[in-house]
Structure 1
Amino acid sequence: MTLRLVILLFGLPLISFSQKPNQPNSSEILHRLEKINVLGSALYVAAHPDDENTRLITYLANERHFNTAYLSATRGDGGQNLIGPEIREALGVIRTQELLAARRTDGGKQYFSRANDFGYSKNPDETFNIWNKEEVLADFVKVFRMHKPDVVICRFPEDGRGGHGHHTASAILAHEAFNLAADPNAYPESAKEFGTWQPKRILFNTHRFFFERAGEEFHPENLLSEDLGGYNPLLGQSYTEIAALSRSMHKSQGFGSTGSRGEAQEYFYHVDGDSTTVDLMDGVNSTWSRIEGGKKVGAHIDNALLHFEAGKPQLIIPDLIKAYEELSQLEDGYWKSLKMEEIKSLIKDCAGLYLEVKANAESYVPGDELKLSIEAINRSDVEFDLFSVDIMGIQTFEVRQKLFDNRPLNMDKTYQIKEGMAYSQPYWLREKGTLGMYKVSNPQLISKPENDPSLQAVFTLKYGETYLDYKLPVVYKRNDPVEGEVYEPVVITPPVFVNLPDKVVVFANGEEKEVTVNVIAGKNGIDGKVELSLPDGWKSKPKKSKFSLENKGEQASFTFVVTPPASQSEGTMGAVATIGAQSYNYELQKIEYDHIPTQTLMSKSEARIVNVDIQKKGERIAYIPGAGDDIPASLEQVGYQVSLIEAVDIKAEELASYDAVILGIRAFNTQDALKFKNKELMTYVEEGGTLIVQYNTSHRLVTEEIAPYELKLSRDRVSVEDAEVRILKSDHPVLNQPNKITQKDFDNWTQERGLYFPNEWSPEFEAILSANDPGEPARDGGLLVAEYGKGYYIYTGYSWFRELPAGVPGAFRIFTNLISIGK
């Protein structure tokens, strides 16, 4: 029988296209063989990266062998970054890759909706006012129909006990999708593509915490429970140990986790569908008998299990081929597609097949020459022929050569990258979205965790009369003197990039300023002109500058003197490079961390420009970094000299020469040295200095002594960015010198007003401002000022770390006043 397959996207295993190929050992092969014999599916649902229960995903994927996935409503763009400076969209890219790294660890798959993590919200109504609920619900329904879960499990309840409005919204959406996925009239586009689906039940993965938050007693005996603490001898770890490794992939959130051993109970509350007190999967037929004709397939898998030998995994290939052929004759459907991919992948692993297409560079421009090295080797005595290789979208060529045991077959090919190929920008960032939603015009991409590889190849192997297709990414790899073999994704880029180093440029009082544009060559030998695009009333000298770059990767910097209009003004500045008749306005950003593949972002080259009426006193600032923010660069924009000082190096006598000392966000959470150096800071204040402490969380403070007087942090926050801010002390210096602060200075704030305000403080502090979200009491602890000795101590929970990098004029004026106090 001759057999050719169309590879379905949703049937592919979750393998990041820039990771080094993993060759499983025999125990892992046996583990995967056992999984092929299970036809069950589960979906975990929550709001953000790091919300998922990795213990449960690990258990369901590896003990129960269910096809398990996590649906995260967002990519976590609104969080903080503990490992670097990336925020917003770039942070969302990092957290997407951290989730994929977590799933590679725990064995799950990953989906997303188009919802954007716009920041904290306190209830689902606020969330749905910013998300497009219909679009997000459509995405949830699509994932339900595509993944076809027998059981859906939510991390959060629908009643608000999950705290964050996104959390509650994710549970509401999951429940609605549970009831809509079976209706062909609801979101018919995904019904047509994937068919309808009705999960058997939906559960809430509850915890003692949720009961305590509601003021209720926790009675686990009344709940469905499951012990997730089992040990898997084939994997050599307990599920809780694997889960800790998975959880630790969320490094940007600081969620490194230590593994545990022994019993680990999880509890579940019935939400809808069939109820059970027996087992999560009670009533789910997970055997081959669930599909018509499946028993014959299952019989061959049983034979493979019977014949398996750890030292000779290739012995089961005939059984797997028979199962594959038998399955190919069944009616098309979800389980057929999924299991054919699993069987085919296992055949490859049992034979020790290594298939690779390697490019000679990590990036290409449309029209470039592409040199490929192709390798195929069969490391078993099973007879395979390499029938053909398809470099997708470029050329298919027949090979028709036997792959002899441990004798590599190597070929070199040269092609040209097609004109018009799409650049490798993450698909959800290609178009401009809204505050709450990413715009994705291609419905085929919605729910996918990341782009398909820019270049792919399909190896077609022949075993007897059976053809097996293996789709693989074209990779670039290099040898690092320390790391050895390093894989990187191949990307398609424009021929030139124009980077604006400063994303916000602040002009004080109409003064002209130099703006730098870095022109980077995406290919060899480019010549052209670079210029700035400016709003009406703004001017630049020169108008254009010529560039000539000989080598790919070469960079040249150009300076333009920009003059703002006389009046206060703000807008968007862009950089544009022109080569011949073609213009390009992309900037290049590479994100490189050891725990995720290198990410290349190519967004529009734009910066916010602001001409603000601002006065300041003082010149020199010492900045003690915390969890990472861009405030130092923002302060330099308005003329301050900022010195970054590590917490361990703090000395009061050396700080005395600075006009102010500022602690970065969450410094008292992240800098261990502050448990000792806080005394040096207080001495600096006592002797006449100004200390500004930005927000910290009460959880995991390195010391309780964060202020010279009693100060108690809370979880109070004002999440509505345009919530009214009331002035409590209109005559206080921080509202009058050197800038007179008015209500206008609180206009156009972004994402939120502030977070983790203190709710108790000693009488030495003066509360300057008050704000609150709708329906909540006043939160007066966002800006507290106290005199201490000869100096001033300021604690502020207002979100300067968002407002200053966003170029909010009023935020600059207020923050300058904080620095200027007492001068």
Structure 2
Amino acid sequence: MKNLLPAYGRLLALCLAVTAALGQEAPRLLPDRGLAGIRQQLLETGTDSRLMCVAAHPDDEDSETLAYYNRGRGVRTSIVLANWGEGGQNEIGSELYEELGAIRARETLAAAELLGTRVYCLNQKDFGYSKTIEETWRFWRREVALERLVRVLRTERPHVVITNHRVGSGHGNHQAMAELIAEAIPLAASPEAYTAQLVEEGLVPWRVERFFQQARHHEGLPGEDYDVAIRVADPDPIRGLTFQEIAAEALNRHRSQGIKGVWGRVNAAREQSPVNAFRLVVGDRPEGKLRDLFEGMAGAWWLDGSATPFKDLGPSEAATASERQFNAALRLALSNLLVDRLKVEASVSEAIASLSARAVEVDSATEWERFPPEAVLGEKEFWSAEDMERYQRQVLETLESIGDKQRRLERILGDLWGIRLEIRNEGKSPTPGEVSEVILEVSNRGEIDVEIESLRLEAPVGWTVEGIREEGAADARATLAPGEKHTRRFHVGVAPEEPPTLPATQSLYRALRPWPSNLRGLVLLKRADRYGRVEGEYRLEIEPAWELRFHPAAPLLRADRVAETSLSLEVVRHAREPKDATVAVTFPDGQRQTLSLSGSEMLQEAVPLEWKPSSSLGVGKHSLVATLLAPDARIDDGVLDYAMITDVSRPMMFRIVPEVMKGTHGRFKQVTLDKCKKFTLTADRPLYIHADGEIFSGPGTDIRKVSFEILPNALKVIRG
């Protein structure tokens, strides 16, 4: 031990020295767990207020204001980014472009966990520093970005939106996001805009009540006037840090952008100003300054002089019996959180009971008898836009809020009882259409017996979930003693048209949420006469049926192009069942080679490619493309496989082309994959025809009709 302690001390000193050299500090804040997590859930149960921050890149978000409202007030917060900053530099490694974007997405999620916020991304191209807004719009798909931003507004339904950006100053991407959110806010409220979101996705129009731009800091002007100021330097007594310091900890998670000490300088500059100032862009402008972003809105409990969201509703307060019971119970739960867990459990259970009565009160207040049945079903002549918005906010949102609060309080009981849920899959990841075994494991880390009332696994529409009945396995309803585990196995069938989630660097850019979960586990619990729950989400990774990689990835060619170039195409079959495929390789000068792969004979194979560049190829960088045109084609089935794309717009064509590379283009309705023995193609203009990479007809020819027919077993092949 005498020798060990000095060695340990030297090792610790070395670690501290390395950390200091890298410009990093040991984290002062970790994600909420235990009682701190339960307190945060109680805080979020006390308000329905929602805040959204719109920013261009990771680290552009207003993390101080987000921390102030979520960690200090329980407000639901969200961030919307334009892109993942994949066009920037990488200070921690050699990854660039899409791989760098994946790193920054993970950093953003780590920062968001400390702030308690959700993250969305519009997936617009990051091409480096943009000097003007006009340059940004040349690279971004404006209509796509606008439609996505409206969808996020209707999904999150924020009462207040903030941004650090404004048009006229700063990075071109920043200006574009400021312009985009100003355009999206009125469109999100219009029932005439993006109606497919309303009809097909079940979203509803949403009116943002206030939109603020930050003043004085970021793109603001020093000394400019403002409408409201937020004291972000106030302390959070639970975490022992100010909201500025919580934001600083979140900013430090963006390591690929600030490992050389830049975040220390940024955070030091932030601390010189104890407030964040904002100017009102959308919303009723007050005569004087606002006290808060949410002043005058329902749910802003912190403006009433109350220390908690659950103030004492005395006789003078306009409140129902259930509201008084709810507030009294959760006020007691907060006061006993560090003192008596059994009292907390009893108080939370009482609050859950009050919510059932509250739902009945809300439903009776709608006065259904005032409307004929046709109005309830949504006939237009009975519903004005004002009626629809009133009904949405006063009835539907209230009922939805009651359901959210009940589920959150039931999760708190599950946490108090020490119940944990783990979801995992056994074996390799499935490909589209395959079945994977998924395990749900419930464990009791508490000190009391808890009953499992039900256990289920939920998957997306089109997937299948089937429980595996194992001999001797415990029933779904079981009593879980302290230290025990309960396991259930499921066969999960992935929908055939489901796009692969791997590689992760590609799937990141296809969704608004970074790497969203696709499986959800739910366990309903009971102890005595009290009901709780534990929930968990899991991302079941889906591999493509085939994977293609060129070697070398970036070959060098002689400028005189006289030499034949040797390449290899590594083909990997991830599908468990044998499946043949046809791969079309297009070289930079237009030459093509078609390869027929027998899935029954290979799992992984390097296919040699010989290519002599033509004289039309210029000096520079060129791309080599491999495509799976007919992913289910077989070389010995006696039929032709064809892929036909019809009635497709230019934007949709760009959407389909990447899918052709992976052989997943058949899931689009504009694509037909089928088989035949003979077909004839007739056109009203000259046809451009390539036959196995050779140009059959092109410019200067006038072929308008062509027939193809398969001749089974016409060639005899001798294998040596």
Do 1:540 and 1:562's aligned partners in 2 also have CA atoms closer than 8 Å? no
Instruction: Tell whether 2:260 aligns with 1:253.
Output: no
How many angstroms does 1:132 deviate by? 3.6
The corresponding residue for 1:37 is 46
The corresponding residue for 2:70 is 61
CA RMSD of aligned residues (A): 4.2
Q: Which of 350, 357, 365 is matched with 1:319 structurally?
A: 350
Inter-CA distance 27–539: structure 2 relative to 1 (3 Å threshold): closer
How many angstroms does 1:136 deviate by? 2.4
The corresponding residue for 1:186 is 193
Q: Secondary structure at the match of 2:422?
A: strand
Distance in structure 2 (CA, Å) of the matches to 1:472 and 1:187: 33
Which has a greater percent of helix? Answer: 2
Distance in structure 1 (CA, Å) of the matches to 2:159 and 2:433: 48
Inter-CA distance 430–412: structure 2 relative to 1 (3 Å threshold): same
Do 2:627 and 2:661's aligned partners in 1 also have CA atoms closer than 8 Å? yes
Q: Which of 401, 404, 416 is matched with 1:335 structurally?
A: 401
Do 1:524 and 1:549's aligned partners in 2 also have CA atoms closer than 8 Å? no
Q: Which of 35, 54, 60 is matched with 1:26 structurally?
A: 35
Do 2:359 and 2:402's aligned partners in 1 also have CA atoms closer than 8 Å? yes
Inter-CA distance 63–282: structure 2 relative to 1 (3 Å threshold): same
Instruction: Tell whether 2:572 aligns with 1:520.
Output: yes
Matches within 5 A, 1:744-759: none
Distance in structure 1 (CA, Å) of the matches to 2:457 and 2:186: 43
Instruction: Tell whether 2:330 aligns with 1:301.
Output: yes
Do 1:525 and 1:550's aligned partners in 2 also have CA atoms closer than 8 Å? no
Instruction: Tell whether 2:181 aligns with 1:174.
Output: yes
How many angstroms does 1:219 deviate by? 2.4
Q: Secondary structure at the match of 1:491?
A: coil
Q: Which of 487, 491, 506 is matched with 1:411 structurally?
A: 487
Distance in structure 2 (CA, Å) of the matches to 1:375 and 1:395: 16
Q: Secondary structure at the match of 1:199?
A: coil
Do 1:35 and 1:66's aligned partners in 2 also have CA atoms closer than 8 Å? yes
Matches within 5 A, 1:189-268: 189-190=196-197, 193-208=202-217, 210=219, 218-219=222-223, 224-254=228-258, 257-258=263-264, 264-268=274-278
Matches within 5 A, 1:503-518: 503-507=553-557, 508-510=559-561, 511-518=563-570
Do 1:538 and 1:564's aligned partners in 2 also have CA atoms closer than 8 Å? no
List per-residue Cα deviations over 1:540-566 (Å, max 9, x = no partner).
899678788888xxx554432222123
Which stretch has the larger CA shift, 32-41 or 449-458? 449-458
- Aligned residue identity for 1:459: V
The corresponding residue for 1:804 is none
List per-residue Cα deviations over 1:288-333 (Å, max 9, x = no partner).
8999975654444334334434552544442343255446555442
How many angstroms does 1:66 deviate by? 1.1
The corresponding residue for 1:350 is 416
The corresponding residue for 2:500 is 424
List per-residue Cα deviations over 1:2-51 (Å, max 9, x = no partner).
xxxxxxxxxxxxxxxxxxx9882213312321221122111111212221
Matches within 5 A, 1:292-691: 297-310=326-339, 312=341, 314-326=345-357, 329=360, 330=362, 331-333=395-397, 335-361=401-427, 363-366=429-432, 370-378=436-444, 379-381=446-448, 383-390=450-457, 392=459, 393-395=464-466, 399-413=475-489, 415=491, 417-418=493-494, 420=496, 422-425=498-501, 448-462=512-526, 471-474=535-538, 490-507=540-557, 508-510=559-561, 511-522=563-574, 533-535=585-587, 556-568=605-617, 572-574=624-626, 581=633
Matches within 5 A, 1:801-812: none
The corresponding residue for 1:718 is none
Do 1:388 and 1:396's aligned partners in 2 also have CA atoms closer than 8 Å? no
How many angstroms does 1:151 deviate by? 1.9
Q: Secondary structure at the match of 1:269?
A: strand
Q: Secondary structure at the match of 2:436?
A: strand
Do 1:496 and 1:577's aligned partners in 2 also have CA atoms closer than 8 Å? no
Inter-CA distance 377–322: structure 2 relative to 1 (3 Å threshold): farther
Distance in structure 1 (CA, Å) of the matches to 2:226 and 2:165: 18
How many angstroms does 1:252 deviate by? 2.7
Distance in structure 2 (CA, Å) of the matches to 1:96 and 1:30: 28
How many angstroms does 1:244 deviate by? 1.9
- Aligned residue identity for 1:403: T
Distance in structure 1 (CA, Å) of the matches to 2:353 and 2:424: 32
Distance in structure 1 (CA, Å) of the matches to 2:187 and 2:92: 40
Instruction: Tell whether 2:293 aligns with 1:280.
Output: yes
The corresponding residue for 2:153 is 144
How many angstroms does 1:391 deviate by? 5.4
- Aligned residue identity for 2:190: D
How many angstroms does 1:118 deviate by? 4.2
How many angstroms does 1:282 deviate by? 1.8
Which has a greater percent of strand? Answer: 1
Which stretch has the larger CA shift, 149-158 or 184-193? 184-193
How many angstroms does 1:52 deviate by? 0.7
The corresponding residue for 2:718 is none
Distance in structure 2 (CA, Å) of the matches to 1:339 and 1:370: 34
- Aligned residue identity for 2:615: A
Distance in structure 1 (CA, Å) of the matches to 2:600 and 2:94: 31
TM-score w.r.t. structure 2 length? 0.64
Q: Secondary structure at the match of 2:278?
A: strand
List per-residue Cα deviations over 1:746-797 (Å, max 9, x = no partner).
xxxxxxxxxxxxxxxxxxxxxxxxxxxxxxxxxxxxxxxxxxxxxxxxxxxx
Distance in structure 2 (CA, Å) of the matches to 1:22 and 1:57: 15
Inter-CA distance 454–269: structure 2 relative to 1 (3 Å threshold): closer
Matches within 5 A, 1:743-822: none
Do 2:215 and 2:277's aligned partners in 1 also have CA atoms closer than 8 Å? yes
Distance in structure 2 (CA, Å) of the matches to 1:188 and 1:367: 32
Do 2:586 and 2:593's aligned partners in 1 also have CA atoms closer than 8 Å? no
How many angstroms does 1:234 deviate by? 1.7
Inter-CA distance 83–526: structure 2 relative to 1 (3 Å threshold): farther
- Aligned residue identity for 1:359: N
Q: Secondary structure at the match of 2:189?
A: coil
Structure 1: gaps spanning 5 or more residues: 1-20, 213-217, 433-437, 475-488, 585-601, 607-823
How many angstroms does 1:155 deviate by? 0.8
List per-residue Cα deviations over 1:631-663 (Å, max 9, x = no partner).
xxxxxxxxxxxxxxxxxxxxxxxxxxxxxxxxx
Inter-CA distance 82–262: structure 2 relative to 1 (3 Å threshold): closer
The corresponding residue for 1:70 is 79
Relative contact order higher in (CA < 8 Å, ≥ 6 apart): 1
Do 2:215 and 2:226's aligned partners in 1 also have CA atoms closer than 8 Å? no
The corresponding residue for 1:480 is none
Inter-CA distance 562–175: structure 2 relative to 1 (3 Å threshold): same
Do 2:68 and 2:232's aligned partners in 1 also have CA atoms closer than 8 Å? yes
How many angstroms does 1:376 deviate by? 1.4
Do 2:323 and 2:354's aligned partners in 1 also have CA atoms closer than 8 Å? no
List per-residue Cα deviations over 1:523-578 (Å, max 9, x = no partner).
66968688661259666899678788888xxx554432222123326564316599
How many angstroms does 1:225 deviate by? 2.2
How many angstroms does 1:62 deviate by? 0.6
Which stretch has the larger CA shift, 348-357 or 258-267? 258-267
The corresponding residue for 1:52 is 61
How many angstroms does 1:167 deviate by? 0.7
Q: Secondary structure at the match of 2:525?
A: strand
The corresponding residue for 2:648 is none
Inter-CA distance 543–384: structure 2 relative to 1 (3 Å threshold): closer
Do 2:102 and 2:505's aligned partners in 1 also have CA atoms closer than 8 Å? no
How many angstroms does 1:210 deviate by? 3.9
